[in-house]
Structure 1
């Protein structure tokens, strides 16, 4: 880390007039990077090229623009740790450093093209270097959160048949405890100041590695990365993506939803083990030449977030709804966000009340997007669109999204059904390639001419999508279908509720009823639980159809969540139905 902190670059400055001419007139940068072509591919107006590699076809082109004086002086990567340490890299430096790491992977590590390597690192600069280095070498990378247990790591190593793992000294003992059960694992790399038996030391390798490296010529449909799904029901599946699906697939997303330019500084607050980190910290911003900003805090700290937004020129922020729910518990009016202009969210639905609170205190809208690990971003709210609080926005290219019934018939506006993506003669290029070693699951995602997302929703007359719940989350009580999200959104409008999760609970008369698990605001913890339950039930009845109110309620200190922040309703549902 010390070596990385000492690296500096010579940075040029550009006048605002030159910046406007270059980047708002769509000339030099768009021509050199083929951004117009990338966007045309996203709209299915052009074919995907036979060969594509994000490192050589995007990142190295931005390096050339920097050398030619045709990119603003904002860094490509900007990392802080909140304790005074800081790293800033230009695209040229990113290229130089990632080439050294590429030589480590293909040299001392002995990894070859299409080999798989598991990467479990916190928010430190080396995570980005290894990601890019894997692209340069054609090595397939699989990221994981540092919160993984020994059982989790064992599952990932065995299921992926990974030949290498890169992690920190804190997780190395955990890896060693399961490594003997992983026959494919040949190489272990540790980020540590000291040495460990059986491990290669990243720092020593980095200092000795040469910086000359020729990027491999990868085919567009060649595997690039594998993401483990969130696993809200059962073990995580392994969604394999190609070089073009992520490398090209976020050209329009970065332009229209994220609204990024090369002068922006984007902070995507995501764990490195989540697909959202790849989308919002690598592919979408760097396709647009935008600076990726990172705070290396080990866990989410609302005050640290708010202070950082006040102190640094972050223009664009994306974080999970859970994070916004925590942030609005603070007095936002006491902070001044001088540069922040665009706020985004995704990963799970955002409650309208949270959106209202954020808007009232900051003056900024939150633009929600909806997507999946397997297919990327499906629909978004974009600048210039009317925001309908609670809606996931409108479908984004190249996807034709429809609401269908069990027979694959398209349903009329306002009718609840399965959220599905129309597949024509072939799957969209930004789809995942497959679930590794699981052809049955891969085949099950397609029904007729549709990809089935597994989510329930509806589309209004204006073409906006509205989320109801996962197919297995929907509650059927006395014949009524009840989506948990609507009840949760009603509950959070009450000042006593910080967060809630709604699931089905067995009932001898109705079959199943709505039960709410509620996390209370500190000022309401001492209230009489019976009276508060009645108050919350009446509150929900006023905001939704009366049959949707939670007939059962339990106050809890916290809700079970995946490492990506999604509520694990399946755990609560199993508890209710005695399926532990």
Structure 2
């Protein structure tokens, strides 16, 4: 069986909705694998070349690309980079919003054997500098808004970026994207090995700077079939996923998963989230499958859904537990049940509610076909039914799944997460008698705010740079629409006193030094912080007290809110 035959077998099994059979398909990992050469070109381009692969929409602009169009432009992109000295193994950082070149550039990188470093547009100079320290790129792709950040981050290093591409206009030291689309529309793929590095995903933690998660040329393309099965995609569908290209979830649901199935992707770009515009796009483009974070769904259900004539067949949500109200309102208006799912940057969709199978509301569902998920204790023993434990994935280097290859620079963490023959996800759950998994909580203190992951350590580190602050602790505060807001508890230097003016100064200081989604929306001045015997801050206690205070609507002394709370 060739790689294309394997992918074809999995695709046809998903398309027939015979999900149980997926676990019986014999998987293998070839020595050499290049997804563009081995799957995209022989299937999407040669078999489906005239079918739309991408529809891009922004305000009054609309662009449509067949799979053949995408292939031609990605080859031109790749040829330009090669002609200017970029080689296999070199890295490209991409900090752009949802533009057609997002997909085109990623196709070029995969085919050329380049490592992709996706960067959210909200990242600031400080964030980019850390990425450059971890893995200096030879190529940068940015829009005019973010090109200046990349130039500033680059200025800290003697090494210089070889090729810098700006999506529109001109800028000194940068080449215009349009110049890349002038050459030959054919190219030869790099003969990449299946275990060669393809992605460096930077994901926030609680006790340090972001972890750098490494995925290979095989783990994400194959692993994304779990998303294909979860969503219920079919060849010829139009699929829409609300996700930005700077995050791993984008590659789950807006790249490999749909194109593995021969599905058309809708790339709906907007300057800000407007529920009415989102719903109109679902209607106008006859979207069949839809994925959105609960944060977005909370806004959508506030609209009059009966005004729209949807063509939806399947809807899913991920990022945080679903609120029952969302499920009920959406089902009453569309007739479709939103199904929950679970995964990580380190994996793909590993626990989901599959289409046409019974859904237990509140449960994440059951393990997908690539993953052998167990709920285990800290010693690696599986816990009894209904008992809380760690969400773990049985790990064997000879077994094919979508688990990541390694952390790039935090190698010490590998021993923490790979032990007892298991990969420890860091999350807690329990399994019921029917095999459904129920999420309990995160095993760390990462804050989920509006579907973004925020590591407290990063925010605290910035706050401590301000002269007024002696100590700081950052936790999640319940928020009616964001799910959670970032709240900072701070102890002041003896020369300062709590005032609204000082709080506003701290908000402004945070805005100048942090990505927008990491900014504290609440600051509370306190005299002390709860700590363990060893001196570690007990964020769990702060978080519990905060939840209780917000539930009781307690008025808190010296608590101040950001104007954009």
Question: Does TM, normalized by the shorter one, top 0.5?
Answer: yes
Aligned to 1:334: 307
Select 1:89's aligned residue among 65, 84, 88. 65
Would you say how many aligned residue pairs link Structure 1 and Structure 2?
476
What whole-Å deviation, never above 9, does each CA across 1:174-194 have from its counterpart, x for those lacking one?
A: 222221213444224232443
Does residue 211 (structure 1) correspond to residue 197 (structure 2)? The answer is: no
Select 1:407's aligned residue among 379, 386, 393. 379
Select 2:82's aligned residue among 94, 106, 109. 106
What whole-Å deviation, never above 9, does each CA across 1:196-237 have from its counterpart, x for those lacking one?
A: 222222222323x22121111211111112111144653211
Aligned to 1:58: 39
Aligned to 1:23: none
Select 2:267's aligned residue among 294, 304, 314. 294
Aligned 1:496-511 pairs, distance under 5 A: 497-498=480-481, 500-501=483-484
Measure, in 2, the Cα distance between the counterparts of 1:450 and 1:377. 17
Measure, in 2, the Cα distance between the counterparts of 1:106 and 1:30. 27
Measure, in 2, the Cα distance between the counterparts of 1:42 and 1:216. 31
Asked if the contact 2:96/2:121 (under 8 Å) is kept, the reply is yes
Measure, in 2, the Cα distance between the counterparts of 1:433 and 1:378. 16
Aligned to 2:323: 351
Deviates more, 1:180-189 or 1:307-316: 180-189
1:66 alignment partner, SS class: coil
Structure 1: which 5+ residue stretches go unaligned?
Answer: 1-28, 68-72, 475-490, 519-529, 538-549, 561-580
Measure, in 2, the Cα distance between the counterparts of 1:262 and 1:284. 11
Aligned to 2:240: 267
Measure, in 1, the Cα distance between the counterparts of 2:140 and 2:45. 29
Aligned 1:139-538 pairs, distance under 5 A: 139-207=114-182, 209-231=183-205, 234-254=208-228, 256-337=229-310, 339-424=311-396, 426=398, 428-473=400-445, 497-498=480-481, 500-501=483-484, 512=541, 514-516=544-546, 534=552
Deviation at 1:448, TM superposition (A): 0.9
Select 1:76's aligned residue among 44, 49, 53. 53
What whole-Å deviation, never above 9, does each CA across 1:445-486 have from its counterpart, x for those lacking one?
A: 112111100001111111111111111359xxxxxxxxxxxx
Deviation at 1:172, TM superposition (A): 1.6
Measure, in 2, the Cα distance between the counterparts of 1:122 and 1:192. 10
Measure, in 1, the Cα distance between the counterparts of 2:6 and 2:297. 38
Structure 2: which 5+ residue stretches go unaligned?
Answer: 14-20, 447-477, 490-528, 532-537
Asked if the contact 1:55/1:135 (under 8 Å) is kept, the reply is yes
1:453 alignment partner, SS class: strand
Measure, in 2, the Cα distance between the counterparts of 1:233 and 1:351. 29
Measure, in 2, the Cα distance between the counterparts of 1:181 and 1:330. 48
Asked if the contact 2:11/2:260 (under 8 Å) is kept, the reply is no
Measure, in 2, the Cα distance between the counterparts of 1:276 and 1:558. 30
1:421 alignment partner, SS class: strand
Measure, in 2, the Cα distance between the counterparts of 1:557 and 1:35. 53
Deviates more, 1:241-250 or 1:182-191: 182-191
Q: TM-score, normalised by structure 2?
A: 0.77
What whole-Å deviation, never above 9, does each CA across 1:391-417 have from its counterpart, x for those lacking one?
A: 111001221111111222111111111
2:46 alignment partner, SS class: helix
Measure, in 1, the Cα distance between the counterparts of 2:287 and 2:192. 34
Deviates more, 1:38-47 or 1:357-366: 38-47
Deviates more, 1:405-414 or 1:233-242: 233-242
Measure, in 2, the Cα distance between the counterparts of 1:269 and 1:390. 22
2:155 alignment partner, SS class: helix
1:247 alignment partner, SS class: helix
Measure, in 2, the Cα distance between the counterparts of 1:364 and 1:107. 50
Measure, in 2, the Cα distance between the counterparts of 1:422 and 1:192. 43
What whole-Å deviation, never above 9, does each CA across 1:240-271 have from its counterpart, x for those lacking one?
A: 111111122223431x2121111200001101
